[in-house]
């Protein structure tokens, strides 16, 4: 079996895709308050910056920056996933397996180390266009679970960024 090698850069900025085990689930948007709370709790314990984020029904994309000298993004994801899973188990009839896992998340996540400012811009754009790409909305501004709205408030992007698209025009759903 091939072992996946992660790139640990102290204080690095990373793009992540984190996915639910059940790709037909809508748990992330149905329980977005719990997901946000899980992020806040994890950030209080072990700080990290969120450069951009989009939450879709069955997966999310996050660009995260770690503090100087810190490389432990797996520990942060483990904590976020655990907080969300345990919180969800108080809302839904879920049973843990013999190891105490609820099986809500895919075990792995995909990560990419951001190399430079251009790479960061490309990935922020990818995060923000994702709800349009998956056909959930025709305009980026219509998806409520995105840091796009913070970028607009901060004057970094115009409200009509990326214009209008036919739902599903970018491929996947």
**Which residues are known catalytic residues?**
145
Question: Which single residue is written with the structure tokens 């503090």?
Answer: 67
Task: Give the C-alpha distances (Å, rounded to integers) separating 168 from 117, 129, 136, 163.
Answer: 29, 12, 7, 14
Name the DSSP letter for residue 89: H
Question: Which single residue is written with the structure tokens 């809500």?
Answer: 104
CA angle 155, 157, 163 (to 5 degrees): 145
**What count of other Cβ atoms lies within 10 Å of the Cβ of residue 9?**
15
CA separation for the pair 78, 18 (Å, rounded): 11
């Amino acid at each position: 079996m091939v072992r996946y090698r992660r790139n640990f850069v102290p204080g690095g900025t990373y793009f992540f895709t984190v996915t639910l085990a059940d790709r037909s689930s809508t748990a992330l948007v149905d329980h977005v308050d719990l997901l946000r709370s899980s992020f806040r709790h994890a950030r209080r314990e072990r700080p990290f910056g969120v450069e951009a984020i989009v939450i879709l029904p069955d997966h999310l994309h996050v660009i995260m920056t770690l503090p100087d000298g810190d490389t432990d993004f797996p520990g942060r994801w483990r904590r976020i996933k655990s907080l969300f899973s345990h919180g969800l188990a108080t809302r839904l009839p879920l049973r843990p397996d013999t190891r105490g896992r609820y099986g809500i998340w895919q075990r792995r996540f995909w990560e990419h180390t951001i190399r430079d400012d251009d790479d960061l811009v490309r990935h922020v754009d990818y995060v923000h266009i994702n709800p349009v790409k998956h056909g959930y909305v025709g305009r980026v501004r219509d998806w409520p679970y995105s840091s796009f709205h913070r970028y607009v408030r901060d004057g970094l992007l115009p409200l009509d960024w990326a214009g209008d698209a036919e739902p599903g025009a970018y491929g996947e759903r």
